[in-house]
């Protein structure tokens, strides 16, 4: 449940989302289409708003993890192709088919269930066959993939729309793993070509590969983190962060040297200071492990988060010589004047990745949308 009465909010700049989609599109060129990956509520940014903005900027596909995420987009009136990456329980396959959701398949069992459900619904099931070229998670191992699979997918109840795989290390410093996966995938494609059965869509690249590895593009790239302006690899350039995570100062007190702050009394002032209270805590997704490590921006300056982060609030220490007031903006992620806190800064501080910070921002933080000009 959202709390609009509280100043903590996420501001999502849809112009930045569109800029990032266009940046990727111009990188991959007009022959390659872009799938906007909006799983997990658009990496926390709001699936429907992000999907609409991405489509308006030229994305032609949408990608989600669950059936419900796909249905949410359909209910919002989005009629573009939607690929559901994750598993869909047998009883729900008919719903997916009747809503024209594309599904990822790599088990014969599942394929047969999709076919049976499609027969019941009276509409073909749209499937993408996934090969495990080295991610080692889901997908058909190359040695399991023979011509019999072409017979399985060329079933009148099915529409074989895609051949896909997923990269394990496209964000890493070394190209070797990606090269190897690409070679394996190319072998598979060549086999299928010889069997005379290539589907319309061939796709392998995520954000990092869409920016770095042209060989992986084929005719569709699946772009998540880059669309939000997260860095898909360390040196990625040209992406604009879409998110500003903002709150306000709601309480200030002047305290002397030797004053302890918060649960466990883990922070003690070394001189007179302002201790300001900001109504955001770990229940909003501002992780408790950031306690005594993170910084925030107030009036364009960086200040430390001090003491333990609580469920609903945190404290910031400010030198007594600096001016602050109740109602001042506090930027947790985003830009303020010349200072900037990227999501990667928070993620690196607590040894995680931008994806986890984004998707951890909880539902009670209202999402506000705008265009920057």
Ligand X SMILES: *Cc1c(COP(=O)(O)O)cnc(C)c1O
Residue 67 makes contact with ligand X by CB under 6 A: no
- Between 97 and 225, whose beta carbon lies closer to ligand X? 225
Q: At what angle do helices 47-56 and 14-28 cross, to 10 degrees?
A: 50
Cβ 203 to ligand X shortest distance, Å: 8
Residue 85 makes contact with ligand X by CB under 6 A: yes
Write out the two tokens for 233.
């690899």
179 HSE (CA, 13 A, CB side): 4
Measured distance CA(265)–CA(274) in Å, rounded:
17
Cβ 217 to ligand X shortest distance, Å: 13
Determine which residue in the list 181, 206, 216, 247 makes contact with ligand X, applying CB under 6 A.
Answer: 206
| Closest residue to ligand X, based on beta-carbon distance | 224
Site for ligand X in 306-345 (CB under 6 A): none
> From the candidates 39, 43, 267, 282, which is the catalytic residue?
39
Write out the two tokens for 292.
């005594």
Cβ 347 to ligand X shortest distance, Å: 13
Which secondary structure element, helix H or strand E, spans residue 354, and what is its range? helix 354-360
Q: At what angle do helices 67-75 and 47-56 cross, to 10 degrees?
A: 60
Reduce the DSSP state of residue 82 to 3 states and report it.
Answer: strand
Reduce the DSSP state of residue 210 to 3 states and report it.
Answer: helix
User: Considering only CA atoms, which of 103, 146, 147, 148 is closest in space to residue 124?
Assistant: 103
Site for ligand X in 37-56 (CB under 6 A): 37, 39
Q: Binding segment for ligand X among 22-30, 87-95, 222-230, 318-326 (CB under 6 A)?
A: 222-230
Question: Is there a catalytic annotation at residue 253?
Answer: no
Determine which residue in the list 17, 38, 53, 225 makes contact with ligand X, applying CB under 6 A.
Answer: 225
Site for ligand X in 109-148 (CB under 6 A): none
Determine which residue in the list 42, 46, 81, 232 makes contact with ligand X, applying CB under 6 A.
Answer: 232
Determine which residue in the list 52, 161, 222, 308 makes contact with ligand X, applying CB under 6 A.
Answer: 222
Measured distance CA(205)–CA(267) in Å, rounded:
45
Reduce the DSSP state of residue 366 to 3 states and report it.
Answer: coil
Cβ 130 to ligand X shortest distance, Å: 8
- Between 239 and 305, whose beta carbon lies closer to ligand X? 239
Measured distance CA(248)–CA(16) in Å, rounded:
24
> From the candidates 260, 263, 265, 371, which is the catalytic residue?
263
Measured distance CA(116)–CA(124) in Å, rounded:
10
- Between 88 and 249, whose beta carbon lies closer to ligand X? 88
Residue 207 makes contact with ligand X by CB under 6 A: yes
Residue 238 burial (CB count, 10 A) = 13
Binding mask 21-40 for ligand X (x = CB under 6 A): ----------------x-x-
User: Considering only CA atoms, which of 189, 130, 128 is closest in space to residue 161?
Assistant: 128
In order of 66, 69, 246, 300, 311, the CA distances from 41 in angstroms are: 11, 8, 19, 30, 22
Query: Parallel, antiparallel, or unpaired: how do β-strands 61-64 and 33-37 relate?
Result: parallel
- Between 226 and 249, whose beta carbon lies closer to ligand X? 226
Question: Is there a catalytic annotation at residue 263?
Answer: yes
Cβ 216 to ligand X shortest distance, Å: 12
Residue 162 makes contact with ligand X by CB under 6 A: no
Write out the two tokens for 285.
């997704």
Site for ligand X in 240-269 (CB under 6 A): none
Cβ 355 to ligand X shortest distance, Å: 7
Measured distance CA(17)–CA(31) in Å, rounded:
21
Residues making contact with ligand X (CB under 6 A): 37, 39, 85, 166, 206-207, 222-226, 232
**Could you give the residue numbers annotated as active site?**
39, 263
């Amino acid at each position: 449940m959202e709390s609009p009465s509280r100043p903590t909010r996420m501001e999502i700049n849809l112009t930045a989302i569109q800029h990032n989609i266009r940046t990727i599109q111009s990188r991959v060129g007009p022959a390659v289409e872009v799938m906007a990956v909006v799983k997990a509520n658009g990496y926390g940014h709001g699936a429907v708003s992000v999907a609409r903005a991405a489509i308006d900027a030229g994305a032609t596909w949408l990608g989600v993890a669950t059936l419900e995420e796909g249905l949410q987009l359909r209910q919002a009136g989005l009629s573009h192709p939607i690929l559901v990456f994750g598993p869909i329980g047998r009883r729900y396959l008919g719903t997916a088919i009747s809503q024209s959701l594309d599904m990822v398949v790599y088990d014969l069992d599942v394929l047969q269930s999709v076919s049976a459900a499609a027969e019941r619904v009276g509409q073909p099931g749209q499937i993408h066959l996934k090969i495990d070229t080295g991610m080692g998670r889901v997908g058909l191992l190359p040695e399991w993939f023979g011509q019999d699979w072409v017979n399985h997918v060329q079933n009148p109840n099915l529409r074989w729309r895609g051949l896909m795989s997923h990269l394990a290390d496209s964000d890493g410093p070394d190209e070797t793993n990606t090269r190897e996966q690409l070679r394996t995938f190319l072998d598979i494609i060549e086999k299928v070509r010889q069997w005379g059965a290539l589907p319309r869509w061939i796709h392998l690249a995520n954000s990092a590969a869409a920016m770095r590895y042209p060989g992986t593009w084929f005719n569709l790239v699946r772009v998540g983190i880059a669309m939000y302006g997260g860095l898909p690899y360390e040196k990625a350039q040209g992406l604009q962060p879409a998110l500003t995570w903002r709150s306000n100062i709601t309480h200030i007190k002047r305290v002397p040297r030797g004053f302890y702050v918060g649960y466990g009394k883990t922070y003690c002032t070394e001189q007179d200071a302002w201790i300001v209270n900001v109504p955001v805590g770990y229940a909003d997704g501002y992780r408790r492990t950031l306690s005594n490590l993170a910084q925030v921006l107030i009036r364009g300056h960086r200040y430390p988060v001090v003491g333990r982060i609580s469920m609903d609030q945190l404290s910031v220490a400010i030198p007594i010589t600096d001016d602050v007031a109740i109602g001042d903006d506090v930027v947790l992620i985003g830009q303020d004047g010349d200072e900037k806190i990227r999501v990667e800064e928070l993620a690196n501080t607590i040894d995680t990745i931008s994806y986890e910070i984004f998707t951890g921002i909880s539902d009670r933080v209202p999402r506000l949308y705008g265009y920057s000009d």
